[in-house]
Every structure is written in structure tokens, then in C-alpha cells.
A and B are shown apart, each in its own frame.
Chain A
Amino acid sequence: MNAAWIESLEAESKQQTEYARSGCHWEVLLGTGQLEAAAAAALAQGYFLEDVSVIDVSEGFCAVYHFDHWDNPGRVTFKVLVPHEKPEIPTISHIHSGAAWHERESYDFFGVVFTGHPNLIPLLLPDDLGFHPLLKKPEERKPLREFAINPQPAATQPAKGIGDSHGD
């Protein structure tokens, strides 16, 4: 896959991930101010948004944007981390129109506010529910590094059954 556009993105960090285990080719960690430009670059490259998923971790809410391409398949993941105290992420629904529903759903489930969203009202849950069902209790939250798929050699994972797997 052509990665030049990813290399040129302004981001906090970016890395290639091991596809056989993570299902993703690239992972890009973005600041809230960098998200819109990166999403626009993805669309300009012909990428479409698969979904927006939010993870509740110790550091805050991690919004995960999965992108894929029709002609040059290869999954690119954008991640944006915001604190629990101020869960605000700029919307990308003016760029990827399909994000509008994914963002409303994330607002329903986690209470993450997508600033600039034209219609951030409940989508799947009742309008008077009063709580966000996928929030974890503070003691249940795990740090994001627990889920890192590309651990450095001093990995926390037992290697058994992973290294020799070819993923299919």
C-alpha cells in the first residue's frame, strides 16, 4: 500500500502494525487538532471510514477510526485520546458523512462529545436514558499500553502460539 500520505501526516506518533495479529497496517495517534486534517487527507486518498469505536481506558477515552480503501486495501487506524474530564473531539462528519451516525452512537454509549456535529442527539438509546452504558468503573479501566499489539522485544505477552501463526 502507498504510505507516503501517512508519512506526511501531522501526528503525535505513527507506526506500522503487524497485520497478521492486529488486522491493521498503520496506526496513527493524533491530537484533537490534527484529526480533521488527517481525515480529509484520508478521503482525498480515496479511503472510506469503516467505523468509529471508542475505548474507555485509564488515560481517558480513545476514539478509534478505521479506514480502508477499495482499490488498495489496507487498514489505517487513527486514534485520538481525550481525558475523561473533557471528552471533546472535533467531528469529522463534514468530511466523512458516514461519521455522523458513528459519532452519535459513541455519544450515546460513552458520552463523548463531538464538537461541531450538526445533530448530536441520541441515535440508538432513548433520549431520556440518563447514563452511558459502556462507561467502565474507574477501577476496571486498563491503560492503553495493555492492548499494544506491537510490543517491543521486552514484551509482556507469552510468545506461544503467536509468532508461528500465519493468521489464516
Chain B
Amino acid sequence: MATEASLPSLTGDFYTRSFQPGPVPGTLILNMGPQHPSTHGVLRIILELEGEYILRAEPVLGYIHRMHEKMGEVKSFAQYIPNMGRVDYLHAIAWNWAYVGAVEKLCGVEVSERAEYIRVITSEMNRISSHLVWWGAYLLDLGAFTPIMYAFDDREWLLDLLQIVTGSRLTYASLRFGGVTGDLTPEFIDGTYRWCEHMRARLPMYKALVTDNFILRKRCEEIGVISLDLARRYGATGPVLRGSGAAYDVRRAEPYSVYDRFRFEIPVGTAGGDAMDRYLVRMAEIEQSLNIIEQALQGLPAGGPMHEKAPKRLKALKGETYFAVEGARGKIGVHLLSDGGKNPYRVKLRAPGYSNLSLFPELARGVLLADAVSILGSLDLVIPEIDR
């Protein structure tokens, strides 16, 4: 137990030293991470504890920082596309889309109608694969080992399908200015219908096995309640915001591509924004994404995967633009400036997880350390996206 006399001798790195011990004697400074198994990726959180309760929490970021925004300024517009798959490895297609969409918007590049549908289909499949990884990993955090095996089993089939059309399994870079790289094959279309059917049949099993589980409920209900005011002040988006009851989804609020042609619901939380609300929103979103995929497959228009006027080499126009899409974790935004040269002048990447995590210090105040693990998992953090 630290005494007042021992506090001034507190050592540690820059962040520990700047995280001054509070005025309460007898508190403990605990570093959670960077290799803590409950945090996916390397996130470090400095905590000040009194007993098992958190007095203060401060995330320390940057362990996977790669300066993607600088790379945007030294690569050409097209060379930067593969970077997007590496910003958020779980929903790479949405990041592809945010960047490619921003360039298309700024430079007036038209996209073929079939490519819009392919983008919707692959992006929604990617959203489901992201939610499956979150689901498995979250339950792993909470001490349940089995569910991640089921999740990865279903995801494996999904990745096999995505591989047919994009050529990759994780860090997709399949979008191009004016379209996508590959057309859908009959094998893919047939397989996706069958996979959707399979996934629908699995969801009741997920519910019976996990969602209705008493222990899970105890770990999630009334834990980490995010009020709408808190969500607004921190700019939370995605399931973190929708769990608190606001039906804000970029696909509906600022419709891009062909999303206005599909019928889908925006699931929201009903219990005030606790971790269980966020859990249920994501599970319901899997079903909604399945609906969108099936509608898009049924309505798939003829044509090629690239617009016939798509530029062989992009001729960038001067200007400034902002383009946003709905990723698995919330609003992905790209603020792009071009001076007409071959590289972007400035690319700013808005990562939803960054804003979602930034509310954690306020949310963690006064909660049990074990509940903080549950809260962090319920935020669905992908650290490479936060660190960029």
C-alpha cells in the first residue's frame, strides 16, 4: 500500500509521471496493458485505484501508430488505397470506401451502378465479419472461451467468399476510383445466398448459448451506462451511440452510394445505454446486414465493375472535401485536400474508435476494475484504427 511518503519517489515513464497520483492517500497506480490480454492490440491504460474501484483512468495511445496521414501526403492517390485496409483490419472495406469515396466526390469520378452494389454487399459482409470477431473476443474478455470458436467458424466461410471477389481475406484493397477490382462470380453469389441462410440459422443458437446466459447478463447489464449527453460531448458514433438510444447511422443520415434503395432497420438500445445495449445492437445489426446483402444480390444490376468513364490515371482536381461512411465501429470520415498534384495535400482520417474510446476516462470513474474490462470490450476497440 502506497503511503504519502512513498509517493514522491514514484517512477515510471513520461506518461506515468505526468499521471500524478491523486490527493487520496492509499491509492494504487496500476498500468493495464500494453500486453494485457483483455485489450485487443496494444492499448495501455493507467489507472488510479482505491481498492477495486477506479478513481481515474487515462488511456495511453500510440503503440501501433504508423502515421497514415503522412503516408497519404507522400503516396499518389491510388497508391494510398492499400493503406486503408491496414487502418482498421476488421472493417477494411469501409475504410477503402471512405477514402475512395472522398476522392470520387472531390474529382467528380462516377461509379458504375453494379460496383455500387458490389461495394454494399462486400462492405456489409465485412461488417458482419467484424461483429463476429468482436463478439468472440468480447466473450473471451469476459471469460467464455467457446463462443470465439463458433464465431471464427462462421467467419471462415465468410472470408472464403470475400476472397473470391476481393482477392484478400483481411486487409482488403478492392475499391478503385470509379468501381471495384473484381466482378461477382456465380460461385460467390450462390455461396453468399447459402451463407446468409446458414448465418440466420446460427443466430438463434448464439442467442441461446450466449445472449441469454445469466453470467453474461450479470457482466453487461447496468455496466458502463453511456448517457446521450456523454455520447454527444465525445462525438461517439456507431453501436456505442446507438446503444444509448440515438438512431444515428450514416447510411441513413447522410446516405451514400445506393443505401437509400434498401430496407433496413437501425437497431437501438432500450435500457439506457449499458454494455448489454451495445451488445444487443451489434447482434441485431448482423441480421440487418444480412437483409441488405440479400436485397442487393436480388437487385444486382447488369454492367461492369468499373464505370466506363473511370480514369485510367486519376487527374486530381483542386479542392477540399469530407466524406463519411458507416463502419462497424461508427462514422469513418476522410477530410481530403488536393492542390491538383499527384499526391493528396492533406488526408485526415476520422476513426470512430478514437472518439468512442476517448469517453472511457469519464465512464470508468468509480467503477470496479473487472467492469472496466467489460466496458472496454463493449466499446469494440480496434487499436490500429485508433492509433492510425
Contact = CB atoms under 8 A, between A and B. Distances in A.
Contacts of A160: 108
A133 B346 contact: no
Given A124-B387, A165-B108, A43 B233 contact: yes
Contacts of B61: 123-124
A98 B355 contact: yes
Contacts of B335: 51, 53, 64, 66
B136 to A, nearest CB: 28
A156 B339 CA distance: 12
B18 A167 contact: no
Interface stretch (B28-36, B181-189, B272-280, B316-324): B316-324
Interface stretch (A8-16, A81-89, A142-150): A142-150
Interface in A30-71: 43, 46, 48-51, 53, 55-56, 64, 66, 68, 70
B67 interface: yes
Given A124-B65, A134-B70, A149 B321 contact: yes
Contact of A168 (B67, B234, B256): B256
A100 interface: yes
B110 A165 contact: yes
Nearest to A72: B253
B235 A50 contact: yes
Contacts of B258: 168
Contact of A123 (B62, B69, B255, B362): B62
A3 B363 CA distance: 33
Nearest to B63: A124
| Size bracket, chain A contacts | 35 or more
A19 to B, nearest CB: 9
A51 B356 CA distance: 12
A51 to B, nearest CB: 4
Given A133-B70, A156-B318, A125 B62 contact: yes
A154 to B, nearest CB: 15
Contact of A48 (B67, B105, B235, B317): B235
Interface in A127-141: 127-128, 133-134
A157 B106 CA distance: 12
A167 B324 CA distance: 13
Contact of B331 (A20, A50, A119, A158): A50
Nearest to A155: B318
B354 A101 contact: yes
B337 interface: yes
A43 B232 contact: yes
A149 B333 contact: no
A147 B354 contact: no
Given A23-B322, A51-B348, A96 B235 contact: yes
B339 A142 contact: yes
A125 B331 CA distance: 24
A113 interface: no
Contacts of B235: 48-51, 96, 98
B318 A157 contact: yes
Interface in B41-64: 61-62
A115 interface: no
Contact of A97 (B69, B73, B233): B233
Nearest to A56: B346
Given A51-B348, A70-B248, A97 B318 contact: no
Contact of A21 (B105, B254, B337): B105
Contacts of B110: 165
B339 A98 contact: no
A142 B331 contact: no
A160 B102 CA distance: 18
A23 B65 CA distance: 28
Given A98-B233, A123-B61, A75 B322 contact: yes
A6 interface: no
Given A50-B333, A96-B235, A22 B321 contact: yes
Interface in A96-121: 96-98, 100-101, 109, 119, 121
B14 interface: yes
Given A98-B355, A142-B339, A148-B319, 10 more contacts: A56-B346, A66-B322, A70-B246, A97-B233, A121-B18, A125-B62, A147-B319, A149-B321, A161-B107, A161-B108
Give the 6 A-B CB pairs with smallest separation, nearest first.
A23-B322, A53-B348, A98-B234, A161-B108, A73-B253, A127-B14
12 contacts: A21-B105, A23-B105, A23-B323, A51-B348, A53-B335, A66-B322, A75-B322, A96-B235, A97-B234, A133-B67, A134-B69, A147-B318
Interface of B: 14-15, 18, 61-62, 65, 67, 69-70, 73, 102, 105-110, 231-236, 241, 246, 248, 253-258, 317-324, 331, 333, 335, 337-339, 345-346, 348, 350, 354-355, 358-359, 362, 387-388
Interface of A: 20-24, 43, 46, 48-51, 53, 55-56, 64, 66, 68, 70, 73, 75, 77, 96-98, 100-101, 109, 119, 121-128, 133-134, 142, 146-149, 156-158, 160-162, 165, 167-168
